[in-house]
Structure 1
Amino acid sequence: MHITIRLFAGLAETIGSSSLSFQATEIPLTAGKLKELLSASYPNAAPQIGASLIAIDQEYAPDDSIITASSEVALIPPVSGGENGTIYETTSDGLYSITDQPLNAEKLLDTVLDINHGASLLFIGTTREMTGEQRTTALHYEAYIPMALSKLEEIGKEVKNRWNANCAISHRIGLVGLKEASVIIAISTPHRDTCYEASRFAIERLKQTVPVWKKDINESGQHWVNSDQKASDTIHK
C-alpha cells in the first residue's frame, strides 16, 4: 500500500523533505506500526519519529488506528507550546485564522463583542528577546494549516460550551520579529471572572493541541522549540 506522509518542523529538516512517499507492505497498517517502519527506514530521524504522533485525516490517532490508502497522514512532532505570496486561511465563520501577515487585534476583538456581554479580553502573545541568558532575534512559525484551523475551532466551541463565551483566534506563521504578535485570542463573556478563565484556558489548550511549531532564531544559530519533548507529554487527547 502506497501512502504519502506530511512532515513538519525539525522532523522535515532531518529527513530533508516536507513529505514522504512510503510503500507499506504490512496490511492492515496501524499508526503505531507506521512509526516503527519509518524509524527503521530513517534511523537518523528515529528519536524524532518516536516522539511524534500520527494524525489521520487531521485528527490525532492512537497507535491502533488503521491507515488506509485514502487516509491523509501526517507525522506530528511535539507542538511548541508558504513563501510565495500572502497566506491567509480561515474557517467559514471567520473566527479562526492562520496567516503570514501581521495580526490585527482590534479587528479580531470586533468579531466577539456582544451587546449582552460586559467583559472582553485580548490575549496577545509576542516575541520576547531574552529567554534566560539566550537572546532571540526572531521566531519562525510553521503550521499544519488545515488541522490547526480545526483544532482552533474546537477550542472555540469548548470555550462557548463551558463559559458561554465568544472566542476568536488568529495565529501567525513565518518570520515573527521582536515585539510582534504571533497569536491573538479574543474573548467576550457576560462577566469578567469567566472572561479571564476562558482566555487562560484557550491559550493553554492552544499550546497543547494545535499543530504549530516555532523555531528560535538567535545569535548562536536556530533550533525548533520542544523538538526533544515527547508529543504525548504535550498533547492531551
Structure 2
Amino acid sequence: MHVTIRLFAGLAEVMGSSSLAFHFHESPLTAGRLKELLSASYPEAAPQIKVSLVAIDHEYAPDDSVISEASEVALIPPVSGGEPAAEDAETPDGRFSITDLPLNGEALLDKVLDVNHGASLLFVGTTREMTGAQRTTALHYEAYIPMALAKLEEIGNEVEERWNARCAIAHRTGLVALKEASVMIAVSAPHRDSCYEASRYAIERLKASVPVWKKDISDSGEQWLGADPHAKDYPKL
C-alpha cells in the first residue's frame, strides 16, 4: 500500500521535505503502526515522529485508527500556536480564515455583530519582543491549512452552542513582525460575562488543537516552538 504523508514545521526540516511517499506491506495499517514504521525507516527523525500526532482526513487519529490508500495523512508536530498560505484561505461564510496578509480587526468584528447581542470583544494576539531573557525579532507561522480551517470552524460552532455567541477567527501565516497581529478572535454575545468566557475559551482551544506552528526568530538563531509533548499546547486525544 502506498501512502503520501504530509509533514510540517520542524519535522519537515529534519526529513528535508514537506511530503513523503511511503510503501507499506502491512494491511490494515494503523496510525500507531505508521509512526513505528516511519521511526524505524528514518531514525534521524524518530524523536520528532514519536511526539507527533497522526491526522487522517483532517482529524486527529488515535493509534488504532485504520489508514487506507485514499486517506489524506499528515504527521502533526506539537502545535504552538507546514505550509505557508499562497493566498487567503477561508470558510465559505468568511468567518474563519488563514492568511499571509495583515489582519483586519474591524472587518473581523463586523462578521459577528448581531442586533440581539449587547456585548462584543476583539482579542488580538501580537508578537512580543521579550520572553524572559529571550529576545524575539519576529515569528514565522506555518499551518496545515485545510485542517486548521476545519478546527477553527469547529471552535466557532462550540462557542455558539455553549454561549449562544457568534465567533470569527483569523490567523496569520508567514513572517509576523514585532507588535504585529498573528491571530484575531471576534466574539459577540447577548451579555458581557458570556462574551468574555467565550473569547477566552476560543483562544485556549485554538492553541490546543489547531495545527499552526511558529518559529521564533532571534539574533541568536531560529527555533520551532511547541516541541514539548507535555506542554499545554499539545493536543490530547
**TM-score (ref. length: structure 2):** 0.97
Asked whether 1:124 is paired with 2:124, we answer yes
Q: What's the counterpart of residue 220 of structure 1?
A: 220
Determine the C-alpha separation between the residues in 2 that align with 1:97 and 1:214.
17
The CA deviation string for residues 122-173 of structure 1, in whole angstroms up to 9 with x for no partner, is 0000000000001100000000000000000000000000000000000000
SS in structure 2 at match of 1:120: strand
Total equivalences in the alignment = 236
Q: What's the counterpart of residue 108 of structure 2?
A: 108
Structure 2 unmatched ranges of 5 or more: none
AA in 2 matched with 1:37: L
Q: What's the counterpart of residue 91 of structure 1?
A: 91
Determine the C-alpha separation between the residues in 2 that align with 1:232 and 1:55.
19
SS in structure 1 at match of 2:80: coil
Relative distance call for 1:89 and 1:13 in structure 2 (3 A) is same
Determine the C-alpha separation between the residues in 1 that align with 2:39 and 2:230.
15
Determine the C-alpha separation between the residues in 2 that align with 1:125 and 1:193.
21
Once the two structures are superposed, the pairs formed by residues 205-216 of structure 1 within 5 Å of their partners are 205-216=205-216
AA in 1 matched with 2:195: C
Q: What's the counterpart of residue 44 of structure 1?
A: 44
SS in structure 2 at match of 1:14: helix
Relative distance call for 1:173 and 1:28 in structure 2 (3 A) is same
**Contact 2:80-2:233 within 8 A present in 1 as well:** no
Structure 1 unmatched ranges of 5 or more: none
Asked whether 1:153 is paired with 2:143, we answer no
Q: What's the counterpart of residue 58 of structure 1?
A: 58
SS in structure 2 at match of 1:208: helix
Once the two structures are superposed, the pairs formed by residues 9-88 of structure 1 within 5 Å of their partners are 9-81=9-81, 86-88=86-88
**Contact 2:100-2:174 within 8 A present in 1 as well:** yes
**TM-score (ref. length: structure 1):** 0.97
Moved over 6 A (4+): none
Relative distance call for 1:53 and 1:19 in structure 2 (3 A) is same
